[in-house]
Structure 1
Amino acid sequence: MTDLTELTIAEARDALKAKTFRASELTDAYLGAIEAANGALNAYVAVTADKAREMAAASDARLAQGEGGALEGIPLGVKDLFAVEGVRTQAASHILDGFKPRYESTITANLWADGAVMLGKLNMDEFAMGSSNESSHDGPVVNPWRRTGSDVALVPGGSSGGSSAAVAARLCAGATATDTGGSIRQPAAFTGTVGIKPTYGRCSRWGIVAYASSLDQAGPIARDVRDAAILLTSMASSDPKDTTSVDRPVPDYEAAVGRSVKGLRIGIPREYRVEAMPAEIEALWQKGIATLREAGAEIVDVSLPHTKYALPAYYIVAPAEASSNLARYDGVRYGLRVPGKDIAEMYENTRAAGFGREVKRRIMVGTYVLSAGYYDAFYLQAQKVRTLIKRDFETVFADGVDALLTPTTPSAAFAIGDAKLAADPVAMYLQDVFTITVNLAGLPGIAVPAGLSGEGTPLGLQLIGRPFDEETLFATASVIEKSAGRFAPKRWW
């Protein structure tokens, strides 16, 4: 029998229904893989082995009776941003030490209702602030991919680095993730996995630790396009507990995989040809264009003129919202508390000790741009730019474009502790240059593996769609996936 952890969600689902093996066997295979690999990769910050075995046993009972949900018996990892009742939920931050919520996020509740099995909580950048998974209080995640002939440890991308690394290393069948400025798509590109950030409002944010509420959106990271579609079908829902949740039916996204793209108009935004973009990224982009053209899609050049203002606008809006959202972490009700001579000093001591460097930086930036005298000059201006960016996309889609094709990242995965990026926060922020516009406009975007770099590490392409048209993204991404093939790292751990 094939190693059970090598099966995709679709393959495992069909085999479980056919009673080829039991959910308990599949779960034990993943728990064994985690035990063997997590010391080297640091993808999991908590492994819920007992809970996983209980859930798998319940799945076995349902499957034996010919019952079961869409994900019955499928073992998943959960990003440490999602509240799971009675299980550590710390957003990879010291300030939430020991926090175990008494409630369940809507998305994880949806997954468990469909029969999924929880393997544990996955590492991430602290409060989802980062592009490399190096800001985690639990230490950096190591990318399971390595450059050819090198043993230099690479980042798995961020903030959902634990999710992407665990999926790539076969430590879970799929994983939940979140995307505020590229935190699903960039890690997917760095690890040869598929990640989709759905339309804002498609997945409930209830029970997810907030970073920037008008930008945050949850989605899956999976091994292939079909698995991502299966997971999103379960994750998406209308939720009265989230006022930004949209009340509209959830399509069968899996049905869109493999659908013809003949006649679709695919836009190529000229502003995404950024200065000093590596030749291999441009070559990958051209290969993707050729693939879609051969599949019958029409390729058109388009303009998104306000793209150049997206990065500064994002790094005003997101920290501003973060400074407000993170004000609740003060040592009073939960998590870390560092005593002081009075309550004000206790606040100061707790926040100084509890937050990491990058989180402190963004809180200070956010507080500054919202302060008297600067609000109009920075925050209000950034919101106006955001409106213009959204209008750019609306204009392109109104002209009959069905989706846009761009690179996902400006480079392949870089080394952990890269000196240039560590010394210059702006250089790290530039990792999000191709992804943040999607969040600012609230649009869906998918990252799909499209090739390997000259050093043998994965590179991805991004497709951006109309609001609530994830189906077109799955159809188009599956064409690129079929042409490029699937990628898996060579085991060194």
Structure 2
Amino acid sequence: MIKETAAALGAKIAAGEITSVQATQAHLDRISEVDGRVHAFLHVDPEGALRAAAAIDARIANGEQLGPLAGVPIAVKDVIATKGMPTTAGSKILEGWRPPYDATLTTRLREAGLVILGKTNMDEFAMGSSTEYSAYGPTYNPWDLTRIPGGSGGGSAAALAAYEAPLSIGTDTGGSIRQPGAVTGTVGAKPTYGGTSRYGLIAFSSSLDTPGPCARTVEDTALLHSVIAGHDPMDSTSIPQPVPDVVGAARRGAAGDLSGVRIGLVREFTGEGAEPGVMSVFRDAVESLTKLGAEIVEISCPHFLYALPAYYLIAPSECSSNLARFDGVRFGLRVGDDGSRSLEEVMSVTREAGFGPEVKRRIIVGTYALSSGYYDAYYGQAQKVRTLITRDFTAAFEQVDVIVSPTTPFVAFPLGSRTSDPYQMYLADLYTIPTNLYGGPAISVPCGLSEGLPVGLQIMAPTMADDRMYRVGAAVESVVGTLTPPAL
């Protein structure tokens, strides 16, 4: 049961072949069996999950017609507010915090009948590329427990690869859905910015953060996308437009016909700095697309080369502002409040104790970049680069329907091998960051193995054309199939 697709599970639950309680219990049992080694979850809610599953079973027994994912279990990244359930953002500063409300995304999951198993591990405040910066210890890649599962949403991806959940939710600021998907052999999609609500998402970088769906197949990812997407008046950046037909696009793509589809290859992503094995698998995937009828067009996006430094000025600057609310006064951790310190001193020692090294590093960089005399030289210039990258995408999509690249320059690297060199860690997002700066959708789908480890193919589409990436992603899947990790 745990290896079923979400679509198949939902169909069996709706038909009465199995119950949601049985499906939920099977996944809870799997979590008990393997999560001690994988550490995908920070919090598991057996009682709440089984209670929700029983309620779905009762509704089905009463003849209610529910959605295609009703009764299917799901894991949720621990940066998304869940009422009454711990939401820590992977940080000690929020240890034990239970939100008094649900995020819009959480509400939509519940309304669609999905059963929340628990909250998944992540780099603290979504700042990282390996899930090694979680205050609660790293997550391990089910393909090789000595390697990273990607980040910041490594827990959400690892839960899928370890068959602890058929679906999960991640968030993508610079690649934090797609990069974990690539290195764990799963599917991760970043919707158009504003296509999914940020209300109830603990903010890292407000102009970049995008919640999105994760699964083991493209169709499952599209089904989950259709549940969580759509306009939300509680989010001022939410787009008041209909959700593209991502499910229909995925099913069309699964037929393996890409006739008439123009696919762009970015000249600037020629493989410099990428592992030869990754580029070889990527080139084979592109060749497969041509056999399905797609036309390959070489395009130039010259400002993509500046995306990484621009991102690492914009994102830390916004995080510096967003994390100012964690001050030991209003909620969360409070240290040193013994009457002997001033308010400013309490704030200082609380933040020193509550934030980890990567969060502190980015706050310092961001505060410097926003400071008087440096704003125009750093943050202002980075925003100009962002505009140029957007223009590159706009020009490219006049020539092609989608753009493809490797998702990451390398396969999953060993735990601990890059934590001493932040720049090497940041390179994990080399190919994913441009899309975040632009605001368009992108998906990572497995396209093969290098040295026995998964490689991801990234498909980028124009804003609000999320359906295009699902069509091409499903076509890739029709050729490559799904990847199965070694047994844990």
User: Normalising to structure 2: TM-score of the pair?
Assistant: 0.97
Does the 8 Å contact 2:43/2:119 carry over to 1? yes
| 1:106 counterpart residue number | 104
Matched, 1:45 2:42: yes
Equivalent residues in 2 for 1:61-140 (5 A)? Answer: 61-67=58-64, 68-140=66-138
| 2:404 counterpart residue number | 405
Of 203-212 and 56-65, the range deviating more from structure 2:
56-65
For the residues of structure 1 that align with 2:463 and 2:285, how far apart are their CA atoms? 22
| 2:285 counterpart residue number | 288
Matched, 1:23 2:23: no
**Alpha-carbon deviations, 1:181-222, whole Å to 9, x = none?**
000000000100000001000000000000000000010110
For the residues of structure 2 that align with 1:258 and 1:292, how far apart are their CA atoms? 16
Equivalent residues in 2 for 1:416-435 (5 A)? Answer: 416-418=415-417, 421-435=418-432
For the residues of structure 2 that align with 1:468 and 1:261, how far apart are their CA atoms? 20
User: Normalising to structure 1: TM-score of the pair?
Assistant: 0.96
Displacement, 1:424?
1.1
Say what the alpha-carbon RMSD is for the aligned residues: 0.9
For the residues of structure 2 that align with 1:169 and 1:439, how far apart are their CA atoms? 28
For the residues of structure 1 that align with 2:347 and 2:391, how far apart are their CA atoms? 42
Structure 2 segments unaligned to the other structure (5+ residues):
none
Does the 8 Å contact 2:281/2:450 carry over to 1? no
Structure 1 segments unaligned to the other structure (5+ residues):
147-151
Of 477-486 and 351-360, the range deviating more from structure 2:
477-486
Matched, 1:471 2:476: no
Residue of structure 2 aligned with 1:214, choices 207, 220, 239: 207
Of 253-262 and 57-66, the range deviating more from structure 2:
253-262
Residue of structure 2 aligned with 1:55, choices 52, 67, 72: 52
Does the 8 Å contact 1:258/1:479 carry over to 2? no
Q: For 1:290, give the aligned amino acid.
A: E
Displacement, 1:479?
1.0
Of 62-71 and 350-359, the range deviating more from structure 2:
62-71
Q: For 2:124, give the aligned amino acid.
A: E
Paired-residue identity, %: 49
Residue of structure 2 aligned with 1:321, choices 318, 322, 329: 318
| Secondary structure of 1:281's aligned partner | helix
Displacement, 1:64?
1.2
* Equivalent residues, number: 480
For the residues of structure 2 that align with 1:445 and 1:487, how far apart are their CA atoms? 20
| Secondary structure of 2:332's aligned partner | coil
Of 443-452 and 14-23, the range deviating more from structure 2:
14-23
For the residues of structure 1 that align with 2:151 and 2:486, how far apart are their CA atoms? 22
For the residues of structure 2 that align with 1:217 and 1:346, how far apart are their CA atoms? 33
| Secondary structure of 2:43's aligned partner | strand
| Secondary structure of 2:2's aligned partner | helix
| 1:198 counterpart residue number | 191
| 1:249 counterpart residue number | 242
For the residues of structure 1 that align with 2:285 and 2:39, how far apart are their CA atoms? 33
Q: For 1:390, give the aligned amino acid.
A: T
| 1:311 counterpart residue number | 308
Does the 8 Å contact 1:70/1:234 carry over to 2? no
| 2:176 counterpart residue number | 183
Displacement, 1:277?
2.1
Does the 8 Å contact 1:339/1:350 carry over to 2? yes
Matched, 1:270 2:267: yes
For the residues of structure 2 that align with 1:365 and 1:126, how far apart are their CA atoms? 17
For the residues of structure 1 that align with 2:282 and 2:272, how far apart are their CA atoms? 15
Residue of structure 2 aligned with 1:480, choices 470, 473, 476: 476
Displacement, 1:75?
0.3
| Secondary structure of 2:382's aligned partner | helix
| Secondary structure of 1:423's aligned partner | coil
| Secondary structure of 1:306's aligned partner | helix
Does the 8 Å contact 2:244/2:464 carry over to 1? no
Does the 8 Å contact 1:69/1:113 carry over to 2? no
For the residues of structure 2 that align with 1:197 and 1:436, how far apart are their CA atoms? 11
| 1:149 counterpart residue number | none
Does the 8 Å contact 1:331/1:350 carry over to 2? yes
Of 216-225 and 61-70, the range deviating more from structure 2:
61-70
| 2:387 counterpart residue number | 387
**Alpha-carbon deviations, 1:81-110, whole Å to 9, x = none?**
000001100101000122101110001111
Displacement, 1:230?
0.4
Does the 8 Å contact 1:131/1:431 carry over to 2? yes
Displacement, 1:292?
1.1
| 2:396 counterpart residue number | 396
Equivalent residues in 2 for 1:346-365 (5 A)? Answer: 346-365=346-365
| 1:226 counterpart residue number | 219
Displacement, 1:63?
1.3
Displacement, 1:430?
0.7
**Alpha-carbon deviations, 1:426-465, whole Å to 9, x = none?**
11101100000000000100000000112x1111110000
